[in-house]
Structures are given as structure tokens and as C-alpha cells.
Structure 1
Amino acid sequence: MMDALNSISALRGAGATASTGATAAASGVRATGATGFADMLADISGQAVGSLQGAEAAAITGLQGKASVQHVVQTIMAAETTLQTALAVRDKVVAAYQEISRMAI
């Protein structure tokens, strides 16, 4: 799952460097606050990865005795909620793609 989330973030970075003309034209739109759907998904996936990595770090510091049990549990529960949300979004995207692919042209 983390690899899939990281690949979405990587695609965003690759797309941003692919064409400078399109990036320059789009940067005027983005400067006003509007972002694309791919950018939004990439940002959300990056935040999800950060949350999961933070929970992993909290668990490690908890095992070392440097963090309280309450902090570790709260961090892991937040990461679990983030992961469940990411899975739900993925399932919805897959279902939408399958429905679109079944449409008659």
C-alpha cells in the first residue's frame, strides 16, 4: 500500500517536470488556489504516507521507552484511520473506473 501511495506522489513529481510550457501555463491557475485532481490525490497520498511513517516512528520510540503508551496508541489509531480512509478512496476509484469501462460508447 505504501508503495502505491509513494508511486502516486512520484507520478506527480514526474508530471510536473515533463513539460515546462504546460507547467508555466498551469502555474498561473494554481497560483490563484485552484489545483488539479491529480495534485489533490498526490497531496493526500503524501499526507497518508507521512501519517503511517509517523506512527511507525512513534511505535519504535515507544518500544525504546522514550514515548508514553498513550501517545503511541493515539498515533497508531490515527494512522489506522488514515489507512482505512485511503483504502476506501482506492475502492471507490476502482469501482468508478470499472463502471466507466463498462459504459457503451
Structure 2
Amino acid sequence: MIDAINSLSSMTSNSIGTQGVTESRFVNTEQANAIADVDETGKSFTDYFAKVSSDAIATIKQGESASIAGIQGKESVQNVVQAVMDAELTLQSAIAIRNKIVSAYQEVSRMAI
């Protein structure tokens, strides 16, 4: 799953703009700031999606490293739980976004030409 998300960060396309994208479910404060940065610089939706996916990968990797450090006794339980919960929320958000994309693709493919 992480490799699939990571492969999206290498995609670049300027054909999809960010105007009209207003839904903000599953967006935390850091992601909202990233959205504001993208809108100000005029980058494409693909660039924004690549940044979000790389941030998601970093969050999941941070959760993994915190859990390993917790097992080794190098990290406090509170920090381990917080990092794992952040990683879980990120993974759930990525799965929800994937499901929405698949659903939208299926709906478009059922349309009459």
C-alpha cells in the first residue's frame, strides 16, 4: 500500500487544476496549511496530491519507527501511542480517498457515451 501511494508522488501533470476542490474531510491543520500553500503557488492538483501522499508515507514511517523504538525501550509509551494513532488515521484517510476514487471511476465508466 505504501509503495502504491509512493508511486503517485512521482506523477506530474498540469492538466488538472485545484479550482473547485473545496471538500475538506479528513484534513487536519497541517494539511489545511499545505492546501493554502498549493493554492497560492498555483501548482496543479497532481502536485498537491503528490505532497499529501509523501506526507502520508512519512507519517506511517514515523509510526513504524516509533513502535520499534518503543519495543526497544527507547521511546515512551505515550509517544508510541500518539505516533501509531497518527499513522492509523493517515492510513484510514488514504483508504477512504482510494475508495472514493474507485467509486468515481466506476460511476464514470457506467455513463452512457
TM range (shorter): 0.7 to 0.9
RMSD: 1.9
Aligned length: 90
For 1:38 and 1:9, locate their aligned partners in 2 and report how far apart those are by CA, in whole Å: 8
Mind listing any 5+ residue stretches in structure 2 that lack a counterpart?
A: 15-37
Mind listing any 5+ residue stretches in structure 1 that lack a counterpart?
A: 17-29
The list of structure 1 runs, each at least 4 consecutive aligned residues, that deviate by more than 4 angstroms after superposition, is none
Tell me which moved more, 94-103 or 79-88.
94-103
**Counterparts in 2 of 1:57-72, with a 5 A limit?**
57-72=65-80
Indicate the residue corresponding to 2:45 in structure 1: 37
Indicate the residue corresponding to 2:9 in structure 1: 9
TM-score, normalized by length of structure 1?
A: 0.78
The secondary structure found in structure 2 opposite 1:103 is coil
The secondary structure found in structure 2 opposite 1:66 is coil
What is the percent sequence identity of the aligned residues?
A: 49
**Counterparts in 2 of 1:1-105, with a 5 A limit?**
1-12=1-12, 33-105=41-113
Please state which structure has a larger fraction of its residues in helix: 1
Superposed displacement of residue 10, structure 1: 2.4
Superposed displacement of residue 101, structure 1: 1.2
Superposed displacement of residue 2, structure 1: 0.4
Q: Report which of the two structures shows the higher radius of gyration computed on alpha carbons.
A: 1
Residue identity matched to 2:63:
A
